[in-house]
């Protein structure tokens, strides 16, 4: 079980702290709404040696202890990278939505997708919204990610969540029990998937253009050496 602390911001801009104990973590994979977009992401990963999934979408069950709200994560080597995703968290007071990164070891992913996800921490923002405040305009939410490496900042991912399966669809396929969290799928990256070296960072954003607000999180990678 993982203890998380959220600053839940309402549509009026008021916020309050809420602690959540998460005991179950699910990652929704290949969760695109557009089959062409799914094929694009499959092709991206195929270049890294990742096999095609047997079905889409699929749901990976991982350890909840992977969730972290820290600003730095430790990974092994320089072959891992993140992906901006909406994250649903079933709290005692109702369903929350925040922004997170499905950080994954790309080298391990070539022989085992589930294992590759289990070996990396999963960063989460500290701010969150009530799901019922965005459910009615879910498709208008926008995901963005910026990669920071070698002193340069570039757009890594950007687009509407309308290209992904709706949260309601995912919840119907994989209902969230109390104290459960689910990553809701990601967008194709711009410029191809690249590993993050020691000191590289990823900035994540989930923007709500209807209520004019944005959830943000940034984290840096500390790459630990591989001892042969």
Q: Looking up tokens 């600053």, which residue turns up? A: 7
Tell me if 178 is assigned to some domain: yes
In a domain, 126, yes or no: yes
Residue 108 lies in a domain: yes
Full domain range(s) for residue 63: 2-8+19-224
Contact predicate 137/111, CB 8 Å: no
The residue-averaged pLDDT of 162-185 equals 96
14: in domain: no
CATH number of the domain to which 95 belongs: 3.90.850.10
Q: How far apart are CA 154 and CA 68, in angstroms?
A: 24
Judge whether 13 lies within some domain: no
Residues 206, 77: Cα–Cα separation, whole Å: 28
Full-prediction pTM beyond 0.75? yes
For the chain, how many structural domains are there in total? 1
The model's pLDDT over 75-91, given as tens digits with 9 standing for 90+, comes to: 999 999 999 999 999 99
**How many CA atoms lie less than 13 Å away from 52 in the CB half-sphere?**
6
pLDDT digits (tens, 9 = 90+) for 35-48: 777 777 677 777 77
Question: What distance, in Å, lies between the first and last C-alpha atoms of the chain?
Answer: 32
């Amino acid at each position: 079980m993982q203890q998380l602390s959220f600053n839940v911001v309402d549509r009026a801009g008021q916020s309050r702290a809420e602690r959540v104990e998460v005991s179950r973590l699910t990652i929704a994979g290949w969760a695109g709404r557009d089959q062409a977009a799914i094929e694009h992401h499959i092709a991206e990963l195929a270049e890294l040696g990742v096999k095609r999934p047997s079905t889409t979408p699929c749901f990976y069950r991982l350890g909840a202890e992977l969730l972290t709200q820290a600003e730095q994560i430790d990974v092994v080597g320089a072959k891992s990278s993140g992906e901006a995703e909406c994250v649903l968290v079933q709290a005692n007071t109702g369903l929350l939505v925040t922004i997170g990164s499905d950080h994954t070891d790309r080298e391990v992913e070539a022989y085992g997708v589930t294992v590759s996800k289990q070996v990396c921490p999963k960063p989460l923002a500290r701010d969150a919204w009530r799901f019922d405040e965005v459910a009615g305009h879910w498709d208008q939410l926008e995901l963005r990610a910026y990669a920071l490496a070698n002193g340069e900042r570039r757009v890594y991912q950007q687009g509407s969540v309308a290209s992904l399966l709706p949260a309601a669809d995912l919840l119907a396929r994989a209902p969230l029990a109390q104290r459960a969290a689910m990553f809701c799928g990601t967008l194709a990256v711009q410029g191809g998937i690249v590993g993050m070296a020691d000191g590289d960072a990823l900035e994540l954003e989930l923007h709500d253009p209807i209520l004019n607000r944005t959830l943000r999180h940034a984290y840096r990678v500390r790459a630990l050496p591989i001892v042969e």
